[in-house]
Amino acid sequence: MDKSRKHVMNETTTRPRSRYAKANFLTWVVLLALPVAGSWSGEAEAQIPAPRQDRPIALVGGTIHTVANGVIEGGTLVFEDGRITAVGTDVELPSGTETVDVTGRHVYPGLIDGYSAMGLYEIGDVDVTLDLNELGDFNPNVRVEVAVNPESRHIGTTRSNGVLVTLTTPSGGVVSGLSAAMMLDGWTWEDMTIRGATALNVNWPSPSDEDAYERAIRELREIFSTARAYRDAHAAGGRHHTDSRWEAMIPVVNGEIPVVVSASELRQLQDAIAWAEAEELRLVLRGGADALYVADHLAAKDIPLLLTSVMSAPSRSWEPYDQAYSLPARLHERGVRFAITGGPSAPYANRLPYEAGVSVAFGLPEEEAVRAVTLNPAEFLGIDDRVGSLEPGKDATLIITTGHPLDHLADVEQAYIEGRRIDMMDAHRHFYEKYSEKVRQWQEQGGVGVD
């Protein structure tokens, strides 16, 4: 993590900033504030958060994909004060409703990326813009939402592709900290947070060194044993030192929030499952490249999985070329519940629809692929009361598209987050319009004069 912001994420950290880090941070702030000649219009640069919904809105005449309750042709969806109030074909509109004709269009819930560095990662080669992890191996008290940068330029390009919610996740160490479910609109991190402390993240050790592997697992068991002891002492009301690290572990060992364990290889998956069962934890696996080899076990234990790489090459020479592409379809056939995630690097979060789209090309039913980037991750992470499907009572966080949102030929024409109409301009669209104008001028001049 960048030292200039480290104190924000960790409640127990009291280290002062170094002068070097502080200088770098201030330099970067100044650079961000300077306009870049010829590269941004004022409109594109601003990306001003949308105002609150001030009247009922009805989307009328479109095909509504509720995800939870099927598809409604020629339907109406009404939302008020940021919440969906009615979905159907025979809906009475409240007085003063603004109607939006979406005939010929499709309405879907906003897509959810269950593993992301959104708001923590800006430019890979500029360290001061990276705020991904704390020092040390044990940081369960890191609450990632307070480090999210609402001004990230990756927010606009991501939501333009239909991704409106991310599970922003810390990294590094063994126990990295607590993820947060974030909506991609808001003036501050408080505005953007749907739910903080959504899941605790554990990076399962690599089995490449047997002695180190066994030692790391013993240390992990000791951590959770100490956490339970701390919880019991806290519950007994006796005198004991307060430690925010162990305080953060109490909801985890109580089963109130899941533990997301990053594990991909077969042995990692098997050992992580056995460990979580012995510790009586709510387990969600992340990674899962070898998940097919334990698919029956995952299905029998009903262990959810966050797949992190559908668009990737096989890791072994004897595996077929479509090992990753077809993995979602084969897991679905075996009864495994899973979600598909985008790349953890924020610049690639906008690729989430394409990750899921590849799985459709290789056998996963379209409705299951949509569920894998909407309702499934919402259920796994305990935010399905707010997002993931289009149902009365849930947030009006949705997209209007020209076709299937996982098809690269379809466009996301409009997004709403908690009923707020989102500005769809972003860096990619800005440059598209800019160079479309260049072509237009070139054509007007007879094909000369514009290089």
* Domains in the chain, CATH or no CATH each: 111-387 (3.20.20.140)
pTM over 0.85: yes
Average pLDDT, the chain: 88
Percent of the chain with pLDDT over 90: 76
pLDDT at 15: 37
- Range with lowest mean pLDDT among 183-187, 259-263, 312-316, 353-357: 312-316
195 forms beta bridges with 181
Angle at 206 between CA 200 and CA 208, to 5 degrees: 175
pLDDT at 131: 83
**Beta-sheet pairing, 398-401 with 106-109:** antiparallel
Residue with the bigger pLDDT between 129 and 329: it is 329
* pLDDT reading at 244 higher than 70: yes
Residue with the bigger pLDDT between 297 and 39: it is 297
pLDDT band, residue 449 (cuts 50/70/90): low
The mean per-residue pLDDT over the stretch 259-275 comes to 97
* pLDDT reading at 170 higher than 90: yes
* pLDDT reading at 142 higher than 70: yes
Question: Which DSSP string corresponds to 389-428?
Answer: S--TTSB--EEEESS-TTSTTS-EEEEEETTEEPP---HH
Residue with the bigger pLDDT between 28 and 81: it is 81
Describe the chain by its helix, strand, coil percentages, rounded to 5.
35, 20, 45
Asked if 371 and 336 count as a contact pair (C-beta separation under 8 A), the reply is no
